[in-house]
Structures are given as structure tokens and as C-alpha cells.
Structure 1
């Protein structure tokens, strides 16, 4: 299953902001992702979750990409009813270009069969 979520994500760990502003942003990101997934049935068993940040520009390096997707990751894990460190979730991070001013993200959830094959 694939979800497209209209959410402009920040530049990850390089974003310098006041701690109250950061808390508001993280709360908003979790809320938007959570509301986008709420009507769907969460799959049971092992899954691969592909989080894709779609923004204009040159993109982020690996650690900032993961940092920018931390709140959405927490929201997806909560929807799945698991901790984000659960070994039954294989997290994959990606980024793709988007038109200027049209930032969004996608969440793709794929069941993993026994033995690790999709």
C-alpha cells in the first residue's frame, strides 16, 4: 500500500530552530502522517516501510534524510502498533525531486514473507 501525504519536511538535523518551534513541528508532522493512515488497516507481521521525501532542490545526505523523516517514522510505527526499533520493520529511506513549492512525502508499506522475501 502506498500513501502520498502533503507535508513539507525540513532539512533534517541541520534545521536550527527553538526547542518549542521544533516540538510544534514534530507534533504537526506526526499528526499529519497519523491522520493520513488512520482509516487503513495496519498489516500484521514483518513489513518493509519505504519513506520518501519529495522536495525541490538538491536533496539531503543520508543522516539528514533520516533526521527529516524521524517524526513520520514514529507516526508510522505507532500506526503499526510497534516501536520504531522493532526488528519486524525494515525501514528504507529515499528522496525524489518535486516541483518547486510542492513538497510531499510518500509512505509505502510492503509485507515481508517468511525468510525475508517480498
Structure 2
């Protein structure tokens, strides 16, 4: 159930803020400890709600390249792929390690860039 909640949170964040003009902010340190900022990505928004951390990035890199980066980075740190979805509107990967979940969602934009949303939920 936690994986579903984390995935839904990430999707809601993408939909709510995907078309908004965003200012650059610092990448959350707790998220950076698990998943460094992907090459070619720019940090645009971050939020923390209790044990949940979310970050929104923007990138001109192809979605498959971004997903490959996070798959390689996170599996090397002991995260297991729990869910993978490739839909017309978004590509997502959800990872699990112990009681924690980390979701990556990529939504292409009309300008050719993509919005990348990361959501980390810890116990």
C-alpha cells in the first residue's frame, strides 16, 4: 500500500505543478543521499511533508536515459524495482528498500523538455 501512496503522491505533484513556472531551489539532502541529481537535470521545486520528500526537476534529456540513470544508481544502493509503468503521458519507476519507497516519474512537456518528479517515503 505504501508504494501505491508514494506513486499517487508523485503523480499528483506532477499533475499539479507540471505546467507551472518554477524557480530553482536546492536539492533535498536526504534525497541526494539516495539518488543524486540526474545529469542534465535542473532542480525546480522541493517539498517535505513529515517522512515524505518530493523534488521536481526539469530536463532536456530523453526519458529513457533519465530512467536508466536512476535504475542504475538506486539498484547499486540496494533499492529493488517494485513497479515500472510506461504510459503515453508518463514513464514511472518505483523502488523499495526495507520500509522505504522511492518513485521516479517523467512527464514530457510540449517544449520538448521533461518534468522529472522524485518522491521518497521513509518509515
Report the TM-score when normalising by structure 2: 0.30
* Higher relative contact order (CA closer than 8 Å, sequence separation 6+): 1
Per residue, is there more strand in 1 or in 2?
2
Bigger proportion of residues as helix: 1
Structure of greater Rg = 1
